[in-house]
Structure 1
Amino acid sequence: MIGMEAILALLGLGAVALLLVGVPYLLVSHARLRARVARLEAGLAAASAPEVADDVVPEAAVDVVPEVGLTGPWERPLPVGTAPESSTPPRAFVLRADRLATVLRWLRSNWALAVAGVSLALAGVFMVQYGVEQGLLTPFARVVGALLLGAVLIAAGEVIRRRHGDEGRAAGVPSVLSGAGIVTLFAGVLAARALYGLVGPGMALTGLVGVGGVAIVLGWFYGPALTALGLVGAGAAPFLVGGASDAAWLFYYYFAVIAGVGLAVDAQRRWAWISVLALAVSALGATLLYQGGAGALHYLGFWALAVPLAVLVPEGQLVPRHAGNSPLRRIVAGGEYPGFPVRLALAMVALASLAAINVTLETYDPLLVWLAVGLLAVMLAALVLGTTQAPGLEDAALIPALAALVLVALEALEHGPVWAGFQAAAERLPETPMPLAATLLMTGGAVASWLFHGRMRVAGTQVPVILWALAAAVTGPALALILELLWLPGGVIGSYAWALHLMALAGLMVWWATRAGGVEARLVAAIFAGAAIVLITLALFVMLSKAALTLALAVMVLATAAIDRRFDLPILGGLAQLGVAVIGYRLVIDPGPGWAVNEAGWADVLLAHGGPLVLLGVAWGVMAARAGGATRVVIESALWSIAAIFASVLLQRWLGKPGAMGHAGLGLMAVVWLATMMAQLYRLRPGGAVMRAIRMALAVVTGAVALVILVAQTVITNPLIPFMWRKELVIGPVILDSLAAAYLPVAAVLAAGAWKLRHLPRLLRAGFAVAASAYAAWYLGLEIRRLWQGRDLSVPGVSDGELYSYTLALIAVSVGLLVLALLRRSEMLRRLAMAGVALTVAKVFLIDMSGLAGLVRVASFLGLGLSLAGLAWLNARIAAHMGNADPR
């Protein structure tokens, strides 16, 4: 019995092939032959007719060419004597306001006809469901009655069409009758199998194919109303008939037949919206079956049939030849929008990809996950290899490629069956074989990249070559990155084995980089070289320790700079910037300063911080030829930020754990974030609007983190004011103590920002300078108090010596500012120095004088007077030297 049903199924598939390929070919050939004969007859008639004016076209010459002749994928030929308006075929848009208005007008005028068609279709459905006269008929009689009713309706519609046509007085009537007959026939065949079990699956499929063939043939002669009614009715029939079936999977292929029927009809008539309706009805019906529990295996089989139908049938070609623009080419190079067949095919590819992802999210069977991956792989390979003559579909393969990456990521994030089985193998016994899931996925990624690379070699023109090269260089490495981050294969199959996987793919990229040639050979070589460097770096992530990994990243940046200089490949600069960003991430966040201060040894600290400083310094020198480029600017800013982080780590280690937890530790931690903020602000000079926005956002975030840390330092760990019961003590020797670690690095970073960030607004740079001065002054004041009070600065009162020390410090600072003003010829610094002198005078007369008496008072004011006189003389000389006649 099984063998007979298989034979019937093969016969059904053969009938499908005959209907979808043979019949359209015969009809189109016949139509073209008729058109050719008509043109010959018109030419003979024109030769024997009297001469007419040039602008007069004989009526016969306009009407003799039937509409069925085709000259392009979606273009009707113009009547003889009519000049074409454009050399490009018109685009077919389905969801247009004018078409919707036309449908609404037809429904307003023919609503009774539409209701009649629905009623007739429901009559056939209810016949097979309920029978006649309250179920007195046997199941066999009900099915036969439904089939006879369908045949009678089709015959009636055909008789009316042959006598009166499908337009004019009988407009729509033949279509309605025949459409209702088609729906009834579909319902009868389904009932014979699903409700009553009168036939097997093979016979049922053959019957459905036969009804579909009748619908195709009728659709070529009727208007679109028949086809639309037949499609909607056929799609709704399984759900209207109801009942239970032991072969529910058959309906998936039934819906695939519906899709083929609609597409085959529209391949001849070019209504466009019929194709959309056919695919929508079939996809919706199959999805409802899947949601109803009809099984995922054949659901994937439905999509495996629906996608080729959507690609091949509308164009009527066994090999895709979709002309026009592709979506990605439209985005990159401009031009017209993709044609209707392209949009139709891309939509089905996208829906099939989403269906594969959905199956993996809802199943606990590893086999179904692998079948979903297989569906995406088959679509990718078919679209890469089969669309070489279809420029409109040249980027369609990117959809299943992206879907495969998403599927692999979601399998890990949702703890799917394949991922769970792979992770469980980490506890396997030594003699058990190694799990192959990661290896199979990596092999699939490599094959996908190989397919894209092969397509790149035959692309020819510049834009496709670059796009295919990017696809080849991204697909495999992206899959490897997803596996490393979410699947953690190194912990299951071993770090060394996993690193070998990555290095093998990197070797493939290197091979392609060395064989780049033709159009944009240098750019293609840079793309594959960048992919190889990323994979090698990923292998280093797997194998090396934290310190060695950071050093390896710096080596990667230096190697990228050297390759750029040697082969003039500026596109690698983006890869170098990415490497610098990852180095910054490792030094700031993971493993961050906490690891460097509390866990790592001195060798690892020097390796992780000093090594990148040296290597990036060499890379900065290597890229001297690109002094104004973004990459060199990024490396230069990284040198400053890494140096600040390194100094912060060294100071925290010197202070020890108690100091790291107090005001010094918070200050040094703030230095890390401030340095990162300054680096992002420094990188604002080059780059486009998008990169500037990203860097500005990073600068705001890191600056906000630094501000929070500094506020906490001021409130919680202030040496002058105890926080609740906690008293902050100064640690270390005088001058080189925790106060210096807490405040001087912060002042230094802020001063560097005011000095180096010349492209920022002047007001912001002035704010950095004021903040740096404030922190330096705060440190100086606290250090003076530490000299007189010891480790505890929160003790009450101020001694005379401490008070006089503040005065001397103010005078010394003012002198220093005056000297700096002379060296830099800065009027602003000179005025700041004189403001310091005024502040010193105010302090002496308002504060110091009240605590002085006797010879101490005399000596103090004598010293102040001499100091002020000397400062006034120095200020006058400086003002005269700078050409300022008003030495205020």
Structure 2
Amino acid sequence: MEMDTIVVIVALCILALVVVGLPYLLVSHARLRARVTALEVELGAGERPLSATAINQEPAPKVASTGPWVRPEPAPTPPPPEAGPAANDPAPPRAFVLNGDRMASLVRWLGENWALAVAGISLALAGVFMVQYGVENGLLTPFWRVMGALALGAALIAGGELIRRRHGDERGATAGLPSVLSGAGVITLFAAVLAARALYGLIGPEATLIALVGVAAVAIGLGWFYGPVLSALGLTGAGAAPFLVGGSSDAPWVFYYYYALLAFVGLAVDAWRRWAWISVLALAVTVGGATLLYLGGAGALHYLAFWALATLFAVLVPERRLTPLHAGNSLSRRIMAGGDFPEFPTRLALAMVALSSAAAVLVAMDAGDVLTIWLSLGLLAAMIAALVLGTSRAPALEDLPVLPALAGLVFVAVEGLESGPLWATFRAGAARLPETPAPLAASVLMLGGAVTSTLFALRMRWSGGVVAMILWALGAALAGPAMALILELWWQPGDVIGGYHWALHVIAMAGLMVWFAMRAAKAQGQEARLHVALFAGAAIVLISLALFVMLSAAALTLALAVMVLVTALIDRRFDLPLLGGVAQLGIAVIGYRLVLDPGLLWAVNRASLSDVILSHAGPLALLGAAWWVMAPRAGHATRVVVESAIWNIAAIFASVLLQRWLGGLGAMGHAGLGLMATVWLVTAMTQLYRLQVGGRIMRVLRVTLAVGAGAIGAILLAAQAVLTNPLMPFMWRKEWVTGPAIFDSLAAAYLPVALVFAMAAWRLGHLPRLLRRVFALFASAYAAWYGALEIRRLWQGRDLSVSGVSDGELYSYTIALIAVSAVLLLLALLRRSETLRRLAMAGVALTVAKVFLVDMAGLAGLVRVASFLGLGLSLAGLAWLNQRIARHMAEPSA
């Protein structure tokens, strides 16, 4: 392995000398000769010598170019008189792109010169098949077969170079012909070297690598003087040569580095010629070839090394520097603030970083062993470190480290979801002997998240601009905590290394966030407070996670409420409104725990009364304190969320207490379903209440949650009406009313539902009027239903499904209607509400209709007289009260 390493280093040094030194000397010599010739001509003609600017400019072509890859040359523009010396040597264009005009030019050129293209392909195939000719006929020894192919390749290159020197390559009748011949020669040389190694075993891997480097150097040198046809043919042929030659190799890994060098060749040529599409072709050919090798079983280790080298070349070579200096707009700034699209080198680097990150994840997911997974994660870690530390002077690449960091988080999550090898090896540690050390996978992953956050925080101090600093701070506040959350959700390290030790890991990450917050607090300004809020919020989330690992269900819910209160206190003390997002997240988790996990079933059936009080009354009191602390932020989104959470938890607490008082969930029937529906309806109304604040995305999310929770509540109410209706037995099951009169299961089943709808109609003033009227209608309907059932219970007892209606029950309904109408009239008087007055008179009309259509049929004698006398007096009193109310409402209010 040491010898292989030395050979690779020597080969790369030779290639660097050829790429940088030889082309520079040749071009400098050519420019010097052109300047001397121009001076001699002017001096011989007796004219004034040309300026340095005019000498450096290339003469305009006399014949228009017809090739598809020739760069358009604008007419020379004289520099302004006041221009300084720096204007005499303009920098090469940066915004070079592959556009539709060049593609159209390529199509036109192929239509006119298709014979030349076919000739190039035929010559290239001739060189490749010459290598295989001896195999089929056995005429030459392997050595002379390879030598013949090398001779043919050299002859083709020599012929192309001879034509180029005499007639040129990009103009005239021979345009493209030298590139075709030389490109075919390069392909033949590649094929000969690969055949010498793969087919005949004449040379070892080291000599193969050196020979390939030599051919690549020849291609680079030729690419300086030829048009892009040669580069395109050379890249395509060199990429296809390993598959066209055939045979087998005992060291297939060497071809990964062959493709990496080929990528360097294409990028290096295009870095000076600025064709753009050659860079894309180089990367496409090499990535495709290396991927085919990997799919063919050439190994994952060197495949990852190929991606590391190819990505490094894609970032550095187009800029022709050892450190990235990509200027212009980045993709994130383009999305958030607009402006120009990122320049071509930036887009090239972005694409390769994204592809290499995806490749590392795919290799890790496809791996059957733990070592390959760690190597893939190592590649992602190396990319993060290199991009964070190496792109500080390249503002256009500021968002690239996010891609490998996100890829690492995605892989860790998928590994846990799919029960991959690394996850299985780690989980197997749960069955280890006590004296056996715990597996370190979770610890290493947590360390990786902490290092990533540290690198992002370090880069935040170097970055220029407010937006860039905020983005880096956000990345630092998310990378490590996100890793901790993913591990807890899908790896559950506490089951393997112990809850206490895992909680220490999380607390250590929280300590890192606190340290970041303390460092950020030393700065001044609004941006510094924003950074402090981000890091403090991350620390609070991690502390909550550690409590989640260590505490019981009731204690955890109480701890989350404590964290919300602490967040409100920090916000009030240090003016960090961004922490409101953390408080809202904590409130969402509290609601999730009270409703789903451990949820209502735990609170009703399994938890002790003290745990129920601790997990419900405790958060209720703490959130009330937080609401009071946040009084200076009245109307703020977080305070609205806290207020709605107080109502939500109070309703859930009351529902749980009622269910525990009435009995187990299965024995409650209509009461149980009604109380369960109440919880979901309160959840839906809470989300509707929070629509007062938040942006468009949050509004869509909250409406979605409200619809979902409301749908669950509606299903429970429908089941209550059909399966547990006290009036109608369902199949053989009869529903009995339990508890004392008035305060019985009927009250638990229907009054909370009516109360929820009534509160929604009253408090949700920001909703459309029609929806609020619908809520009021539902509230009235459930209240009336409860009243009717309670009256029947008073006359019929626990079984409401008995047939028939007694006279006393019938009269009770009439009295109830009159009483309700009177109450509505009084409310109309107090609130000066025309709507309530009309509802009261509608109740009176309904009472009259009931008496004449229903009650009169069962009355006779003095009972009938007394009944109608009482009804008449009551109606007369209500009519008089209605007139007084109408006159009072007509008067102007004081």
Alignment TM-score, normalising by the size of structure 1: 0.94
Measured in 1, the distance between the counterparts of 2:340 and 2:380 equals 29
Worse-superposed segment, 111-120 or 742-751: 111-120
Match of 2:734 among 714, 727, 736: 727
Measured in 2, the distance between the counterparts of 1:44 and 1:309 equals 46
Measured in 1, the distance between the counterparts of 2:27 and 2:512 equals 48
CA deviations on 1:232-262 (whole Å, 9 max, x unpaired) are 0000000000111100111100101110110
Query: Which residues of 2 match residues 847-866 of structure 1 at below 5 A?
Result: 847-866=854-873
Query: Which residues of 2 match residues 381-530 of structure 1 at below 5 A?
Result: 381-516=385-520, 517=523, 520-530=527-537
Are 1:42 and 1:64, in contact at CA under 8 Å, matched by a contact in 2? no
Give the structure 2 partner of residue 674 of structure 1.
681
Are 2:353 and 2:404, in contact at CA under 8 Å, matched by a contact in 1? yes
Are 1:5 and 1:200, in contact at CA under 8 Å, matched by a contact in 2? no
Give the structure 2 partner of residue 198 of structure 1.
202
* CA distance 1:247–1:26, shift in 2 (3 Å): same
Give the structure 2 partner of residue 614 of structure 1.
621
Give the structure 2 partner of residue 825 of structure 1.
832
Are 2:23 and 2:221, in contact at CA under 8 Å, matched by a contact in 1? no
Give the structure 2 partner of residue 683 of structure 1.
690
Are 1:659 and 1:738, in contact at CA under 8 Å, matched by a contact in 2? no
Are 2:605 and 2:665, in contact at CA under 8 Å, matched by a contact in 1? no
Give the structure 2 partner of residue 71 of structure 1.
none
The Cα shift of 1:44 comes to: 8.8
Are 2:35 and 2:55, in contact at CA under 8 Å, matched by a contact in 1? no
The Cα shift of 1:686 comes to: 1.4
Give the structure 2 partner of residue 117 of structure 1.
120
CA deviations on 1:22-45 (whole Å, 9 max, x unpaired) are 445545655776788799899999
Are 1:597 and 1:649, in contact at CA under 8 Å, matched by a contact in 2? yes
Measured in 1, the distance between the counterparts of 2:722 and 2:788 equals 18
Measured in 2, the distance between the counterparts of 1:608 and 1:356 equals 44
* CA distance 1:218–1:334, shift in 2 (3 Å): same
Are 1:235 and 1:255, in contact at CA under 8 Å, matched by a contact in 2? yes
* CA distance 1:660–1:534, shift in 2 (3 Å): farther
Are 1:160 and 1:174, in contact at CA under 8 Å, matched by a contact in 2? yes
The Cα shift of 1:860 comes to: 1.5
Worse-superposed segment, 852-861 or 691-700: 852-861
Match of 2:647 among 640, 643, 652: 640
Give the structure 2 partner of residue 770 of structure 1.
777
The Cα shift of 1:50 comes to: 12
Query: Which residues of 2 match residues 42-53 of structure 1 at below 5 A?
Result: 48-49=47-48
Give the structure 2 partner of residue 81 of structure 1.
78
Worse-superposed segment, 653-662 or 75-84: 75-84
* CA distance 1:317–1:59, shift in 2 (3 Å): closer
The alignment partner of 2:312 has SS state of helix
* CA distance 1:418–1:187, shift in 2 (3 Å): same
The Cα shift of 1:17 comes to: 2.8
Measured in 1, the distance between the counterparts of 2:542 and 2:41 equals 69
Match of 1:270 among 258, 274, 277: 274
The Cα shift of 1:10 comes to: 3.5
Give the structure 2 partner of residue 876 of structure 1.
883
Match of 1:127 among 124, 127, 130: 130
Measured in 1, the distance between the counterparts of 2:654 and 2:219 equals 81
Residue 754 (structure 2) pairs with residue 747 (structure 1): yes
Are 1:224 and 1:274, in contact at CA under 8 Å, matched by a contact in 2? yes
Measured in 1, the distance between the counterparts of 2:807 and 2:44 equals 126
- Counterpart of 1:784, as a letter, is I
The Cα shift of 1:92 comes to: 2.5
- Counterpart of 1:447, as a letter, is V
Are 1:817 and 1:832, in contact at CA under 8 Å, matched by a contact in 2? yes
- Counterpart of 1:862, as a letter, is L
Give the structure 1 partner of residue 844 of structure 2.
837
Measured in 1, the distance between the counterparts of 2:56 and 2:308 equals 47
Measured in 2, the distance between the counterparts of 1:39 and 1:685 equals 77
The alignment partner of 1:337 has SS state of coil
* CA distance 1:659–1:437, shift in 2 (3 Å): closer
CA deviations on 1:596-646 (whole Å, 9 max, x unpaired) are 101111111111111111111111111111112111111111111111111
Match of 1:846 among 844, 847, 853: 853
* CA distance 1:508–1:32, shift in 2 (3 Å): farther
The Cα shift of 1:132 comes to: 8.0
Measured in 2, the distance between the counterparts of 1:21 and 1:642 equals 71
Alignment TM-score, normalising by the size of structure 2: 0.94
* CA distance 1:44–1:821, shift in 2 (3 Å): farther
Measured in 2, the distance between the counterparts of 1:464 and 1:370 equals 31
Give the structure 2 partner of residue 547 of structure 1.
554
The alignment partner of 2:890 has SS state of coil
Query: Which residues of 2 match residues 70-469 of structure 1 at below 5 A?
Result: 79=76, 81=78, 91-94=95-98, 96-131=99-134, 134-166=137-169, 167-469=171-473
- Counterpart of 2:364, as a letter, is T
Measured in 2, the distance between the counterparts of 1:658 and 1:173 equals 88
Are 1:61 and 1:81, in contact at CA under 8 Å, matched by a contact in 2? no
Are 2:19 and 2:221, in contact at CA under 8 Å, matched by a contact in 1? no
CA deviations on 1:558-579 (whole Å, 9 max, x unpaired) are 1111111111111111221111
- Counterpart of 1:566, as a letter, is R
Measured in 1, the distance between the counterparts of 2:132 and 2:323 equals 43
The alignment partner of 2:664 has SS state of helix
* CA distance 1:189–1:61, shift in 2 (3 Å): closer
- Counterpart of 2:110, as a letter, is L
The alignment partner of 1:678 has SS state of helix
* CA distance 1:658–1:649, shift in 2 (3 Å): closer
Give the structure 2 partner of residue 17 of structure 1.
16
* CA distance 1:709–1:23, shift in 2 (3 Å): farther
Give the structure 2 partner of residue 803 of structure 1.
810
Worse-superposed segment, 815-824 or 229-238: 815-824
Give the structure 2 partner of residue 575 of structure 1.
582
- Counterpart of 2:273, as a letter, is R
Point out where structure 2 has 5 or more consecutive residues left out of the alignment. Answer: 62-70, 81-86
The alignment partner of 1:503 has SS state of helix
Residue 714 (structure 2) pairs with residue 711 (structure 1): no
Measured in 2, the distance between the counterparts of 1:857 and 1:390 equals 97
Are 1:212 and 1:258, in contact at CA under 8 Å, matched by a contact in 2? yes
CA deviations on 1:533-575 (whole Å, 9 max, x unpaired) are 1111111111111111111111111111111111111111122
- Counterpart of 1:825, as a letter, is R
Worse-superposed segment, 236-245 or 586-595: 586-595
Are 2:263 and 2:283, in contact at CA under 8 Å, matched by a contact in 1? yes
Measured in 1, the distance between the counterparts of 2:126 and 2:877 equals 115
Are 2:38 and 2:55, in contact at CA under 8 Å, matched by a contact in 1? no
Identity of aligned residues (%): 70
- Counterpart of 1:200, as a letter, is G
> Root-mean-square deviation (CA), in Å?
2.5
Give the structure 2 partner of residue 70 of structure 1.
none
Measured in 2, the distance between the counterparts of 1:433 and 1:33 equals 71
- Counterpart of 1:693, as a letter, is V
Measured in 1, the distance between the counterparts of 2:630 and 2:756 equals 25
Are 2:677 and 2:753, in contact at CA under 8 Å, matched by a contact in 1? yes
The Cα shift of 1:79 comes to: 4.2
